[in-house]
Amino acid sequence: MAELPIPDVPPARCSGRFTISTLLGMEEAGRGPYTPTEGSSCDSAQPTQLSSSTLCTRTFGYNTVDVVPAYEHYANSKGVGDPRKGRPSLADLHSILKPDPSRLRTPVSDVQHSNGLPEAGPEAGLEEAEGEPGRDSEPEPVRFGWVKGVMIRCMLNIWGVILYLRLPWITAQAGIALTWLIILMSVTVTTITGLSISAISTNGKVKSGGTYFLISRSLGPELGGSIGLIFAFANAVAVAMHTVGFAETVRDLLQEHDSLIVDPTNDIRIIGVITVTVLLGISLAGMEWEAKAQILFFLVILVSFINYLVGTVIPATAEKQAKGFFSYRADIFAQNFVPNWRGPEGSFFGLFSIFFPSATGILAGANISGDLKDPAIAIPKGTLMAIFWTTMSYLVLSATIGACVVRDASGSLNDSVAVGSPGCEGLACSFGWNFTACAQQQSCRYGLSNYYQSMSMVSGFGPLITAGIFGATLSSALACLVSAPKVFQCLCKDQLYPLIGFFGKGYGRNSEPIRGYMLTYVIAVGFILIAELNAIAPIISNFFLCSYALINFSCFHASITNSPGWRPSFRYYSKWAALFGAVISVVIMFLLTWWAALIAFGIVIFLLGYVLYKKPDVNWGSSMQASSYNMALNYSVGLSEVDEHIKNYRPQCLVLTGPPNFRPALVDFVGTFTKNLSLMLCGNVLIGPRKQKMPESRLMADGHTKWLMKRKIKAFYTDVVAEDLRSGVQMLIQAAGLGKMRPNILVLGYKRNWWTASPQSLEDYVGILHDAFDFKYGVCVMRMKEGLNVSGVLQAHVNLTFEAAEHPENGTGSRAAPGTAADPTTLASEQQASTIFQSKQGKKTIDIYWLFDDGGLTLLIPYLLGRKKRWAKCKIRVFVGGQINRMDEERKAIVSLLSKFRLGFHEVHILPDINQKPRPEHIKRFDELIAPFRLNDGFKDEATVNEMRQGCPWKISDEEVDKNRAKSLRQVRLNEILRDYSRDAALIAITPPIGRKGRCPSSLYMAWLETLSQDLRPPIILTRGNQENVLTFYCQ
C-alpha cells in the first residue's frame, strides 16, 4: 500500500478521495505520486495541487490509493469480476501506474461520510438509477411503509366474503373445535409461506415485481417466469371473481326490493363492468389514491366487525330468537363445539377446501414491492402481522357466533313455547322456542346450518355487515387489479417471453404500468361477462397455491445449497418447515380440485419448457446455479472415490484448438463423439510476456465459451500464458481437468506447413507428441485436405481479435493483434463456419486401419462417431495387416475378437500386400521430402554426427535414414493402400507410427506422417492409444 507521511496535525474537513487520476496528474506535474507538497497536510484548508480532491481519505487520515468501504461500491453489482464504481481495480493497486485514459477515475465528490454510507435523505433507501446525475431533480415517487403498504393490503385481500357468508356455516358443520383446526391448518401453510417470503425478501435489495421477482431471482428464470405469467393472469381473473361477488350481493339486494335492471344474469354483468371501471379509475389515479381507497375499505370492514361483536352482547329480540340467536349461552357453545355434518359437502376436507381460499392473499403486499419504502422490513413485518390479526378475527368470529346461535331455527314467531313443554326437542326448548318440526324435516330456513346471513342477523345494525361485504370484495378486487400489472410489468421487462414487452412500459414518477392496467381490465371484463366463474375459480386458487409452493421451495432450496450469498436478515425461518409448506401446498391443490391442479401443473411445465428451450441470457445468481455447483462438486469429489475400470473408460479429450473459432472442424469432430459422453477441453496457449497476455486471457475466455455454447458444443475452454508453445502445452497436459475428470487423449491438428516453418516450431510440435506419450496420454492428430485453420478466412470478413496463429495448423498457439482487445460479444456473435462434421454423411464408409494394437483407441473413437445420427448410415470397415497365405485364419481371428468387443463391426479386410515395395515415383517423392533435412554426413561415427548436428537436432543423419528405411517405405506403401481402398470414405482412422524419442529426428517423423496422410480427400485421424486397454470383452 502506498502511503504519504502525515503531519501531527489532526485531520479535518477531508473533502476527497485519493484517485488514480490525481496520481497521474501529480506525475505529469513532475512530482512523484507519493511526494507531499511543502506544507501540505490532511487539512483541506491548506491549498495543495490536488485542489478539490485531496490526498486524504476521510477515515484514516493519510493518503493511499485504497478507498474506505462505501455503499456505492456495492450498488448495482451483478456478477463476480464486474468493475465497481469508485473502487480502484487490482491493477491500479498492484501494477505500475501508467497514464491509461481508459482506467482514469474521476474524483469522487463529498458524498462519502465517515461510516462509508451515503447521506440519508428521502431516497436513502432507493438504489441509484445507474448512477445517473440529476436524480434528485426528479419527482419523488410515492412510497409506503409496512402498515399502509403491506399489512392493511394483505388483511383486505385475506378477508373476503367467506368471512361473512361461509364461516358461520362452516362452524355449524364442523363444530367450533374442528373449525379452529381448519383455520389453524390453513394458517399454518400461509404462515410458513410468510416466513419464507420474509427470508427471501430480506436476502438482498427487492425491486418491483413482487412474487415473480422473489421466485425468479431465487429459483431462476425458468420457474420464476412460468409462475410470474400465471400469477399475473390469476390476479387479473381474481379481479373479475371479487367484482362478481360484489355484483351478486348488489343483485340480491335489488331482487329483495324488486328493482332488477334487466334480469339476474345481465345485472351481474352490468354492475360488474361498471364496478371494475371505477376501480380502474382509482388505480390509474395513482398508488396514493389507491392506498386511500384501501384504507377506506379497511375502516368499513373494521366497523362492520365491531358492529357484529356489539350485536352479540345486545339482548336478543324475539325476531332474532326466532332465527336462532340467544346471545352467549354455555349450552349453545357446548352443542356447537362438536361437528354435525350435513349435505354433500359435510366432511372435514370438503369444508377445508371451502375455507382455505379465505386464508390466501398474503402476497398482496409483496406484489407491490417496488412501491415500498423498505421492502426488506415492510414485507416480513406487514405480512406476518396481517396473518396474525386475520387469524385472530377468524378464531374470534367462529367462537362467538358458535356460542350465540343454534344450528336450526324456523324464523317464525309462532314457535315460541313455554320452557319445558312436552314434545319439544332440541336446545332451543330450554330457551322457550320449539324448532323441532323444521329440524326433523330439515326445512329450517335459519340457524347457523341454514342461514348464510347469520352475521348480519346477529349484528347490531345489519346494513353495516352488507357494507363490510362490499368493502371486502372491492378491496380484494382493487388489490388484485394493482398486483397483476405490477407483476406483469417486471416480467415484461425481463423479456423471457415474446410479444409481451409492449406492456412493460412505465409512466409517471412511480413508473405505473398503464398498458398493463388496461390489459388486466380487458381480461377482468371478459370474465365478468361470463357471469359464472364456478369453473375457473378452482384454477385460480391452484395458481396461488403454485406460487406458495414455489416460494417455500425457493427458501428451502436456497438454504440447502449452502451458498455464501444466502444471508437473509430475517432469521426466524426453517428450511424444513419451508419444505413442508411446499409439499402441503401441492397436497392442498389436489384436495381442492384435482383436475384444476393438473391443469395448473400442465401450464407451469409448458412455460418452464419454453424458457428452458429459449435459454434467456440472464444471470440473477439463483439458487439453481448454486445447486448446480453443489451437485458438480459433490459428484466430482465422489468420483475420486471410484476406482477406474475399463468398462467405464471414456475418451476425455484435451483439444489444442487455439481460439476455438479458428479451427471449427477440429472442435466439431471431437464434440461429435464426446457430446453427452465425456469431457472435452479446448486448450489455447497464449504466447508472449505474461503481463501483456494476462488481460487478454481474462477477456477472451468468456467470448470463446459463448462461441462454443452457440455452436452447441458441450466443452470447456481454458488457456495458459507461456513463453513458447511446448511449455504451454505441457502446462495444459499436467494441469487440465479435475480429479477423475482429467483428459486422457491429446487431440491436435496436423502441422501442414512443417517443411517451411521454423525448425524450432517443428521441434516443438513433435516434442508435444512425445510429451503426451510421456504423460500417458493417447494422441489423435487430425488432417483435412483443405486444412483446419480458418483464421485467414475470418479475418477477411470480420474484425477479428486475433491475427493468424504463429503455428497455423498445429491447433495450439495464438498471438493477439497489436492494439486490439478481445470483445466476447463480437466473438460469440460472429458468423459460424460450417464443417463436414455438421452435415449428414449418408451411406459412405468409415475406414479403420488397425495396423498396430494400441489398446483399442483406434477402434473406439470411430465406433462412438458411428453412434451419432449424422454418421449412423455409414458402414464401418476394419483393415488389418496380414500374410497372403494366412488370410482366412487372420480374418476369422479379428472378426472373433471384434465380436467379443460388441462393436458391431462385421466387415473386415486383410491387407496381404502391405509389405510390398511401393512404386519408385513415390519412393522418390519421399526422398525429395527429407532431402532438405538430411545431414549428409557420409555415415560418420556418432560423435562426429552429434557435433555436426549441434544446434540443429532436426537434421537426419545418413545412418538414421538407412536404419529406418523399411519403416519409411511402409508409410509410402500405406499411403498407396489408403488411396486405393478409401478414396471415397467419409473418414479414415489409422494407427500412426511412433518415433522413438532421441533416436528419430523430428523432421523424419513428420515426413512419415506427411507421406502416410498426403493426397487423401477424406479427413484422416491418426490415432494412437497409450498401449493400455480401452476395450474389454469381460463383464466384470
d(CA 1017, CA 988): 10
Q: Long-range contacts made by residues 594-603, C-beta under 8 angstroms, separation at least 24? A: 596/538, 596/539, 596/541, 596/542, 597/542, 599/539, 599/542, 600/230, 600/539, 600/542, 600/543, 600/545, 600/546, 601/546, 603/226, 603/230
Alpha helices in 148-220 (DSSP H): 152-158, 161-165, 167-201, 210-219
Work out the percent of the chain whose per-residue pLDDT is above 70. 82
pLDDT at 400: 92
Average pLDDT over residues 618-628: 76
Q: Rg of the Cα trace of the chain?
A: 41
d(CA 390, CA 362): 10
pLDDT at 295: 87
d(CA 479, CA 471): 12
Residue 59: pLDDT band with limits 50, 70, 90: very low
Whether pLDDT at 762 is above 70: yes
Exposed / middle / buried, residue 996 (Cβ in 10 Å: 0-12, 13-18, 19+): exposed
Q: What is the pLDDT of residues 866-917, one digit of tens each?
A: 998 899 889 999 999 888 888 888 889 999 999 888 888 878 999 888 888 9
Whether pLDDT at 85 is above 70: no
Distance of CA 200 to the CA centre of its chain: 16
Exposed / middle / buried, residue 404 (Cβ in 10 Å: 0-12, 13-18, 19+): buried
For residue 813, how many C-alpha atoms fall within 13 Å in the half-sphere facing its CB?
A: 23
The amino acid at residue 992 is: P
Q: What is the pLDDT of residues 939-988, one digit of tens each?
A: 777 777 777 777 788 888 888 898 899 999 999 999 999 999 998 899 99
User: Considering only 1-5, 508-512, 550-554, which range has the smallest mean pLDDT?
Assistant: 1-5
User: Considering only 101-115, 558-572, 624-638, which range has the smallest mean pLDDT?
Assistant: 101-115
Whether pLDDT at 630 is above 50: yes
Average pLDDT over residues 643-652: 87
- pTM of the entire predicted model: 0.70
pLDDT at 33: 40
Q: What is the pLDDT of residues 138-184, one digit of tens each?
A: 566 667 888 888 898 888 888 877 788 788 888 988 899 999 999 99
Q: Which run of H or E residues covers position 1023?
A: strand 1020-1024
Q: What is the pLDDT of residues 402-434, one digit of tens each?
A: 999 888 888 778 777 777 677 677 777 778 788
pLDDT at 652: 93
| Residue whose C-alpha cell is 392506498 | 291
d(CA 362, CA 360): 6
d(CA 449, CA 160): 20
Residue 58: pLDDT band with limits 50, 70, 90: very low
pLDDT at 37: 40
C-alpha distance across the termini of the chain, in Å = 62
pLDDT at 529: 86
pLDDT at 184: 92
d(CA 671, CA 681): 10
Average pLDDT over residues 462-482: 86
d(CA 272, CA 531): 9
Residue 829: pLDDT band with limits 50, 70, 90: low
Whether pLDDT at 713 is above 60: yes
Q: What is the pLDDT of residues 5-34, one digit of tens each?
A: 434 444 444 434 444 344 334 434 444 443
Whether pLDDT at 932 is above 50: yes
pLDDT at 12: 40
The amino acid at residue 1021 is: I
Whether pLDDT at 1011 is above 90: yes
Q: What is the overall mean pLDDT for the chain?
A: 79
Nearest to 867, CA basis, from 625, 633, 672? 672
Three-state DSSP at 983 gives coil
Please count the other Cβ atoms lying within 10 Å of the Cβ belonging to residue 229: 22
∠ CA 162-163-168, nearest 5°, is: 90
Whether pLDDT at 4 is above 80: no
Alpha helices in 202-286 (DSSP H): 210-219, 221-256, 264-284
Whether pLDDT at 731 is above 90: yes
The values of phi and psi at residue 966, to 5°, are -65, -40
Strands (DSSP E) found in 578-713? 653-656, 680-687
d(CA 213, CA 842): 50
Q: What is the pLDDT of residues 37-46, one digit of tens each?
A: 433 443 333 3
Q: Which residues contact 803 (CB under 8 A, 6 or more apart)?
A: 791, 795, 815, 816, 817
d(CA 289, CA 3): 57
pLDDT at 306: 92
Please count the other Cβ atoms lying within 10 Å of the Cβ belonging to residue 1020: 27
Whether pLDDT at 379 is above 80: yes
* Maximum Cα–Cα distance across the chain: 143
pLDDT at 670: 94
Three-state DSSP at 748 gives strand
User: Which of the two residues, 424 and 603, has the higher pLDDT score?
Assistant: 603
Residue pair 1020/1013 in contact by the 8 Å Cβ criterion: yes
Question: Between helices 375-402 and 330-337, what is the axis angle to 10°?
Answer: 110
d(CA 294, CA 272): 19
The values of phi and psi at residue 459, to 5°, are -60, 160
The amino acid at residue 383 is: T
Nearest to 216, CA basis, from 611, 536, 541, 748? 611
Q: Which residues contact 100 (CB under 8 A, 6 or more apart)?
A: none
Q: Provide the grid cell at 304.
A: 362492520
d(CA 549, CA 541): 12
Distances (CA, A) of 129 to 72, 86, 378, 488, 559: 12, 16, 22, 21, 31
Q: Which run of H or E residues covers position 586?
A: helix 575-592
The values of phi and psi at residue 953, to 5°, are -70, -10
Whether pLDDT at 131 is above 80: no
